[in-house]
Chains A and B, each alone.
Chain A
Amino acid sequence: MAVLKKVEQVMMALNGDEAVAWAVKQSNVDVVSAYPITPQTIIVERISEFVNNGEMDAEFIHVESEHSALTAAWGAALAGARAFTATAANGLALMWEILYITASTRVPVVMAVVNRALSAPINIHNDHSDTMGARDSGWIQIYSEDAQEAYDNTIMAFKIAEESLFPVMVTLDGFTISHTLQNVSVLPDDVVSDFVGVRRIPRIKLPRIHGDKEIPLMFNPKYPITFGPLDLYDYYFEHKVQQNEAMKETFPIIERVHKEYGEISGRSYEPVFMVPYRTEDADAIILGLSSTMSVVKKVVDDLRERGKKVGAIRLRVFRPFPADFLRRELSKFHAVGVLDRCISFGGEGGPLFNEVRSALYGLPSRPIVHNYIYGLGGRDLPRSLIVKIYEELLSARAEPEVPVVKYVGVRE
């Protein structure tokens, strides 16, 4: 990413959780509702300190479960407040029902999810089984590569959510990002505050019989609105289709907010949906999410020095799925290895692989696509194994009839 010094930023040593907490502190958040779960706890601890020390003017609801954490955030947002919550793994699983409700009522809550493996067996370390399980729930999902990005994404998320009326999930890898100290460029409070503004309340137009008036879309006795009614077979289907179409319309909003953020911070994240790394003239590409891609990029550098034509692409936004961008970007390569840090039991490969492969299927000329499932429960993915993946991809022959799905780094 291009770094242009636009405003004076302070370099702070923060771990990923603290970076998120700082972003929340600076983003004029009105209500925080949260329940602790490792490795997310530091986020709520820091925010609690900010609130209790008077550094942040927010209502903190100490709920009794994650289910209520998201519920209360929903209620607060309905009341017209900017609401934030955070969770991980089983906490996200407990929220599952409310994820759908939040998205389907178009309530713009922002949530940080610190990616962690799902039970059983219980495991506190990183993989993506939690947020991948939530992929169909109607939330925008943005994956962060490091603490800096966790900070930036959280700030942008409030704007994206309120302009699109979709809830936004910002993810960061458990421990790898959440608990690792990094240098993070922190913007001045007033710059962030000006950028995000206060919570925007959209206005909706009343039908003509009510006088064509535009009324605020919030809980307000002056103009009562019924939120979350019963919707039977005569309307439900249309509502779902509209919701899906509306989600596709968030692409330009996400892009614009990134551009605006780039202008104030100098960190532009271009292109927004996927970040290519040394893909020019590359034959083999590894495509994946979040912090793992830092290591992959290092391997690309090593291999490039040895004359191998390899590159990497990091997907930043998984929902909405940028299929068009992928088609444009990926068609020119010989082989693509898709990294999935998640398993889909009984399925044909991981969720990211499935989406990538099906996005490419209709192309007249498409790359060979292999799937590599790795890192479950926090298992390390050493550089040696990434080198192996590249070697395999470089020598891959025409696409076999059966997709290649391999486990990397698992004991036989």
Chain B
Amino acid sequence: MSTWRPDIKELAKREMQTRPFESGHRLCAGCGAGIIVRQIMMAARKSLVFVNATGCVEVATTIFPYTSWNVPWAHNAFENAAAVGSGIEAGRKKLLRSKRFDGDPDIELDYDVVVLGGDGGTYDIGLQAISGAFERGDKILYVLYDNEAYMNTGIQRSGGTPFGARTTTTPVGSVIKGKVQFKKPIVDIMVAHRIPYAATVSSAYWNDALVKFRKGLEAEGPAFIHAFSTCPLGWGCETAETVKIMKLAVETCVFPLYEVENGRYKLTGPSLAIAKNPDRKKPVEEYLKLQARFRHMFRPENKWMLEKFQEWVDKEWELLLKKSGF
């Protein structure tokens, strides 16, 4: 596949004309998820249909009698969004084969299925349904928008919450300070299903993101994209700094950008640049200090937490470098 070079002006124009995701939704100011949804839609060539797990995006965009979606959209429950995707794909397949709606100008069946889940719906409760869909090879693009906690229910820890982070269920107490564990290696878990395409995306790098979303949509089988998503409310960061934080996550290698095509890991964009020139890698403090959820780690007595965080990032980065052939 020759690499697509997205023309942002052209795409913005198309978006203004078709308005697939309407403004006026109730996502918080500075929320990364809205940007991710728009980028998926910009990357699409075919019509899209969306399936949403329970979570912020679901509740903020479809408060009855309003909806932000100018594309077919469905929400069933928290843990089963991938299974809904499987069902839609199977139904579509059969309808196409039967030619039942051929010539019906009111019905279109040539679409791609996007399943959208947060970290709770993906790392935790939804993992089984995703694993089932991937094992069966159902052609869906699963996008994880990872804001690193159960933000919809009020900032409780998930399997995607990073080490040290303060959440309402991992408070900074006098004995235990924030989350004790590190993030689950979700992309590796998905790649282990031998799916044709997986990637990480930070919306701050829109070009990289659009290319990956398109690859995911056009993969021959299931695809998984791990999209990093800032949450000003849950993270205690400035709404105006969303893009800056999404950039810093990549520059510090807390959230490296890469893709995995048929099991082959490949660094992309700024992460590839860091791999080639390690001096560019910034210390994790630069990323952590902008967020209140890590504030306690900057107290002198908790210095070990910063060190431990950095150690983990370095180790994961080394692993990724090896997997990507560096």
Contacts and interface: CB of A to CB of B under 8 A. Distances in A.
B200 interface: no
Given A71-B76, A71-B83, A216 B106 contact: yes
A235 B66 CA distance: 12
A78 B88 contact: yes
A61 interface: yes
A61 B86 contact: yes
A35 to B, nearest CB: 10
A223 B72 CA distance: 8
Interface string B58-75: 110011110101111111
B90 A224 contact: no
B49 A81 contact: no
B135 interface: yes
Contacts of B129: 64-65, 67-68, 71
B74 A75 contact: yes
A58 B59 CA distance: 34
A226 B67 contact: yes
A229 B84 contact: no
Contact of B92 (A58, A79, A229): A79
Contacts of A222: 105-108
B110 to A, nearest CB: 8
Interface in B288-325: none
B132 A227 contact: no
Contacts of B77: 71, 97-98, 101
Nearest to B94: A30
A80 interface: yes
B127 to A, nearest CB: 11
A68 B80 contact: yes
Instruction: Enumerate the 9 nearest inter-chain pairs by beta-carbon distance, A residue then B residue, closest first.
Output: A75-B87, A79-B91, A64-B132, A81-B91, A72-B87, A229-B62, A221-B47, A76-B91, A68-B83
Interface in A113-133: none
Contact of B88 (A75, A97, A98, A105): A75
A62 B92 CA distance: 17
Nearest to B90: A59
Interface of B is mostly: mixed
A31 B90 contact: yes
Nearest to A198: B100
B131 interface: yes
Residue among A67, A97, A230 with most chain B CB within 10 A: A230
A66 B280 CA distance: 50
Contact of A75 (B47, B48, B51, B131): B51
A260 interface: no
B76 A33 contact: no
Contact of B136 (A30, A62, A198): A62
How big is the A interface, by class?
A: 35 or more
A42 interface: no
B108 A221 contact: yes
A12 interface: no
B128 A65 contact: yes
26 contacts: A30-B94, A30-B98, A59-B90, A59-B93, A61-B87, A62-B136, A71-B83, A71-B84, A71-B87, A74-B76, A75-B51, A75-B83, A75-B89, A76-B87, A79-B92, A80-B92, A81-B90, A81-B94, A219-B74, A221-B108, A223-B106, A226-B67, A228-B62, A229-B67, A230-B58, A230-B63
A222 B59 CA distance: 24
Contacts of A225: 72-73
Contact of B84 (A62, A74, A224): A74
A359 interface: no
Residue among A79, A224, A231 with most chain B CB within 10 A: A79
A215 interface: yes
Contacts of A83: 87, 91
Contacts of A352: none
A119 B101 CA distance: 45
Contacts of B109: 220
Contacts of A391: none
Given A59-B94, A229-B63, A232-B63, A68 B107 contact: no
Given A83-B91, A228-B74, A63 B83 contact: yes
